[in-house]
Amino acid sequence: MAIVPQSVGSLIELEWDVVVESGAGDAAGFPDEQYVEAGATVGDPAAIVASDIVLAVAPPHPEFVKLLSPGTVLVGFLDPFVNRELMAMCAEAGITAVAVEAIPRTTLAQSMDALSSQTNIAGYAAVLLAAQDAPKLMPMMVTAAGTIAPARALILGVGVAGLQAIATAKRLGAVVHAYDIRPETAEQVESLGAKFVAAPTASADEGGYAVEVEADTQQLQHEALAPHVAESDVIITTAQIPGRPAPLLITSEMVAAMHPGAVIVDMAASTGGNVEPSLPDQVVIVDGVRIHGPSDLAAQVPGDASRMYSRNLVALLTRLHSEGAENLTTDAIFGEAAVIVDGEPRHPRTRSLLGLGEA
Instruction: List residues bridging with 146 in a β-sheet.
Output: 143
Question: CA–CA separation, 150 vs 134, rounded Å?
Answer: 12
Task: State yes or no: is 209 an active-site residue.
Answer: yes
At 215 the three-state DSSP class reads helix
Q: Following DSSP, what letter does each residue of 55-118 receive, concatenated? A: E-SSPPPHHHHHTSPTTPEEEE---TTT-HHHHHHHHHHT-EEEEGGGS--SSTTGGG-HHHHH
Task: State yes or no: is 117 an active-site residue.
Answer: no
Pairing mode, strands 283-286 and 289-292: antiparallel
At 279 the three-state DSSP class reads coil
Task: State yes or no: is 113 an active-site residue.
Answer: yes
Catalytic residue among 22, 34, 111, 116: 116
Rg (C-alpha) for the chain, rounded Å, is: 22
- pLDDT for res 46: 87
Instruction: List residues bridging with 19 in a β-sheet.
Output: 41
Pairing mode, strands 96-99 and 53-55: unpaired
Extents of the domains making up the chain: 5-103+301-353, 120-300
Question: CA–CA separation, 186 vs 191, rounded Å?
Answer: 9
Question: CA–CA separation, 304 vs 333, rounded Å?
Answer: 25
Catalytic residue among 34, 209, 270, 349: 209
Contacts of 22 (CB under 8 A, 6+ apart): 32, 42, 43, 44
Q: Which CATH architecture has domain 120-300?
A: 3-Layer(aba) Sandwich (3.40)
Alpha carbon of 3 to those of 16, 25, 312, 313, 318: distances in Å? 14, 9, 10, 8, 13
Question: CA–CA separation, 359 vs 343, rounded Å?
Answer: 13
Task: State yes or no: is 270 an active-site residue.
Answer: no
Pairing mode, strands 73-76 and 96-99: parallel
Catalytic residue among 17, 69, 105, 287: 105
- pLDDT for res 323: 77
Question: CA–CA separation, 346 vs 27, rounded Å?
Answer: 35
255: closest CA among 278, 221, 281, 283? 278
At 269 the three-state DSSP class reads helix
CATH of domain 5-103+301-353: 3.40.50.720
- pLDDT for res 165: 98
17: closest CA among 65, 52, 56? 52
Per-residue pLDDT of the chain (359 residues; tens, 9 = 90+): 999 999 999 999 999 999 999 999 999 999 999 999 999 999 988 889 999 999 999 999 999 999 999 999 999 999 999 899 999 999 999 999 999 999 998 999 999 999 999 999 999 999 999 999 999 999 999 999 999 999 999 999 999 999 999 999 999 999 999 999 988 899 999 999 999 998 876 655 555 555 667 788 889 999 999 999 999 999 999 998 877 889 999 999 999 999 999 999 999 999 999 999 999 999 999 999 999 999 999 999 999 999 999 999 999 999 999 877 777 888 999 999 999 999 999 999 999 999 987 65
Catalytic residue among 113, 180, 233, 266: 113
Alpha carbon of 115 to those of 46, 72, 199: distances in Å? 29, 23, 27
* Burial letters 203-214, b for 16+ CB under 10 A, else e: ebeeeeebeebe
Catalytic residue among 69, 110, 282, 322: 110
Fold identical between 5-103+301-353 and 120-300? yes
Question: CA–CA separation, 354 vs 308, rounded Å?
Answer: 32
Task: State yes or no: is 219 an active-site residue.
Answer: no
